Amino acid sequence: MSKGDSLPYVVCAFFTESYRDEIDRLEVSLRAFDIPYRFRRYSPLESWEATTGIKPGFILDCLDEHPGKDVLYVDADAFIRRPLGDFGQFEGDLGLHFNLNLVQPGRLRTGTIYARPTSATRDFLSEWSAIQSRRPELNDTEGFKEACALPAARDVRFFCLPIEYVKVFDRDRISAYIEHFQASRHLPLQDYKVRKSERLKRRRWIRSALAMAGLALLALAFVLGRMTAGA
């Protein structure tokens, strides 16, 4: 029996084809520490935000596919830096890195999530997934925050994973267990039909064009009025 067989969890990650290099690097790091894993490829949805919203439903599927195991979810652009241990020191249903109120901007990170197969975990993931389906304009972190306001969240025993499990490569000066490289910062726009940022740019451009057209009409009306008065 390998070391990985004795671990109480399986690492799960999903990816789109544009993340192929990142998922390959993650696989190398998992094999280096003999950690069991499960990957699944998806076609990108209509936006980057909508694609991130696959996350809660995917975690729920992984819990169903690996009965008796916990699920350690990591984003596809993560990399395992050192042995992770068995997470037995953490008590609760669902673990991620957060501040005490779960909503302060910049303090909640959903790139690493530890999920135990409890009814509270499953109910919360179902609610979170439903939010992402109803509101595809939300990214997964925004959807998580909304799910925390629903009744299902009251029964969940959240626990905080130390920042060493969700280090951002150019932000946190720590010795990490799991490091995230946030590949979406450099994501090619052609992989998505319309990204949220692009929609906002288009809306600003339309508003600016309408404003300029309005000013042009006012100027034209002023000139015509002067010409009429002069005649």
Residue 132 DSSP one-character state: H
Smallest Cα–Cα separation from 113: which of 124, 100, 101? 124
Tell me, yes or no, whether 85 and 152 share the same domain. yes
Alpha-carbon separation of residue 185 from 1, 126, 163, 180, 208 (angstroms): 40, 28, 20, 12, 27
How many other C-beta atoms can be found within 10 angstroms of the C-beta atom of residue 177? 19
Dump pLDDT digits (tens) for 28-65: 999 999 999 999 999 999 999 999 999 999 999 999 99
| 24, pLDDT greater than 80 | yes
d(CA 68, CA 87): 15
pLDDT, tens digit (0-9, with 9 covering 90-100), for 154-210: 999 999 999 899 888 666 677 789 999 876 666 654 444 445 555 555 445 445 544
Same domain, 51 and 134: yes
Count up the domains in the chain and report the number.
Answer: 2
For residue 76, the model assigns a pLDDT of 95
Taking only the tens place, the pLDDT of each residue in 125-147 is 999 999 999 999 999 999 999 99
CA quadruple 118, 9, 11, 97: dihedral, nearest 10? 60
Give ∠ CA 187-191-196 in degrees, rounded to 5.
70
Domain that holds residue 204: 196-231
Structure tokens at 70: 């916990």
pLDDT digits (tens, 9 = 90+) for 2-22: 566 789 999 999 999 989 999
Beta-bridge partners for 222: none
Q: Where are the alpha helices (DSSP H) in the chain?
A: 20-32, 48-52, 55-65, 119-134, 140-147, 196-230
pLDDT at 190: 47
- Same domain for 218 and 153, yes or no, is no
150: domain CATH number is 3.90.550.10
Q: What is the pTM of this model?
A: 0.77
